[in-house]
């Protein structure tokens, strides 16, 4: 059993301990040490407080972490801990960067040029044309195209990337045990061979509405630039 990874997964399961608090903890302890640290040392960590410290000390839900670890090993998912060399370094500029990412694919998430392309689910013909033309123009630029695998501009960007042999990454708002929307399943399989799929969510996580803003920060945060093709005034983009 991969014990360090087990504790890294467990870190994401502690109630009321988010990415910001976990990054603070990791400045002082290794992942496994956090669960074993004396209360007096935890009390010195800024931003924890009594409730969070109690949640750390009383944590026992390692069975869920073991379940996730089994899924990772069975389906050859690559876990990317925030301190790992392969972790997307641009994401570290986000104060709430994910502590642990799950990746299925074959590309370098730290390559020299990364561009996010996003936009409306209810795109126009003009938006489709602009997206396809933009991606085609990048076919010789050794660039990684990132988007959210959603309907509309996202899927157009991914499809255009596959067509033009441009590496493309889909960031998910759910776990890697499914593809949402389901109609993009075949496209996602192609992307694993020409880029990949990435998520911060454990495999049992459903594509609930509140997960999408979290997904979007990864789409934007791991890129050098984000291009919004078109969006409604109240659109998520």
Last residue in a domain, options 74, 95, 113: 74
In a domain, 92, yes or no: no
Per-residue pLDDT of the chain (237 residues; tens, 9 = 90+): 578 999 999 999 999 999 999 999 999 999 999 999 999 999 999 889 999 999 999 999 999 999 999 999 999 999 999 999 999 999 999 999 999 999 999 999 999 999 999 999 989 999 999 999 999 999 999 999 999 999 999 999 999 999 999 999 999 999 999 999 999 999 999 999 999 999 999 999 999 999 999 999 999 999 999 999 998 877 777
Q: Count CB neighbours of 81 within 10 A.
A: 20
Is residue 115 domain-shared with residue 172, that is, in the same domain? yes
Asked whether the beta carbons of 183 and 51 are under 8 A apart, the reply is no
Examine the domain organization and report whether 54 and 114 are in the same domain: no
Are residues 68 and 141 part of one domain? no
Domain assignment present for residue 234? The answer is no
* Domain presence at residue 96: no
**Which of 74, 97, 120 delimits the end of a domain?**
74
Residue 111 and residue 221 in one domain: yes
Give every CB contact of residue 25 below 8 A, 6+ residues apart in sequence.
11, 17, 34, 45, 48
Q: What are the strands of the beta sheet with 100-105, ordered from one edge? A: 78-81, 100-105, 195-199, 167-171, 144-147, 114-118, 225-228
Inside any domain, residue 211: yes
- Cα torsion angle, 83, 87, 93, 94, sign: negative
> Which parts of 89-143 are beta strand (E)?
100-105, 114-118
Give the burial class of 208: count Cβ atoms within 10 A of its Cβ; 0-12 exposed, 13-18 middle, 19 or more buried. exposed
If asked whether residues 132 and 213 sit together in one domain, one would say: yes
Residue 11: per-residue pLDDT: 97
Count other C-beta atoms under 10 Å from residue 164's C-beta: 16
Domain span at 211: 105-228
Q: Specify the DSSP element, H or E, that contains 126.
A: helix 125-137
User: Same domain, yes or no, for 60 and 123?
Assistant: no
Residue 35 lies in a domain: yes
- Residues 41 and 116 occupy one common structural domain: no
Q: What is the pLDDT of residue 1?
A: 57
Residues with Cβ within 8 Å of 85's Cβ and at least 6 positions away in sequence, in order, are none
Count the domains in the chain: 2
120 and 201 housed in the same domain: yes
**What is the CATH number for 169?**
3.40.50.450
Whether 95 is in a domain gets the answer no
58 and 114 share a domain? no
Q: Is residue 93 part of a domain?
A: no
């Amino acid at each position: 059993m991969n014990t360090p990874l087990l504790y890294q997964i467990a870190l994401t399961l502690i109630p009321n301990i988010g990415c910001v608090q976990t990054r603070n903890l990791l400045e002082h302890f290794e992942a496994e040490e956090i669960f074993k640290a004396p209360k007096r040392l935890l009390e010195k960590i800024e931003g924890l407080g009594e409730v969070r410290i109690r949640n750390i000390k009383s944590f026992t839900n390692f069975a869920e972490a073991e379940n996730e670890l089994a899924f990772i090993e069975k389906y050859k998912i690559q876990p990317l801990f925030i301190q790992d060399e392969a972790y997307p370094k641009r994401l570290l500029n986000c104060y709430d960067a994910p502590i642990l990412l799950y990746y299925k694919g074959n590309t370098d998430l730290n390559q020299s040029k990364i561009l996010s392309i996003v936009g409306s689910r209810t795109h126009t013909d003009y938006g489709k044309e602009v997206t396809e033309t933009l991606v085609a123009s990048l076919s010789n630029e050794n660039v990684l195209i990132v988007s959210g695998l959603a309907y509309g501009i996202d899927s157009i960007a991914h499809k255009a990337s596959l067509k033009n042999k441009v590496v493309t990454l889909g960031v998910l708002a759910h776990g890697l045990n499914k593809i949402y929307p389901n109609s993009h399943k075949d496209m996602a399989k192609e992307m694993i061979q020409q880029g990949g799929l990435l998520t911060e969510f454990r495999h049992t996580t459903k594509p609930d509405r509140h997960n999408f803003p979290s997904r979007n920060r990864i789409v934007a945060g791991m890129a050098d630039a984000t291009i919004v093709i078109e969006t409604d005034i109240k659109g998520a983009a």
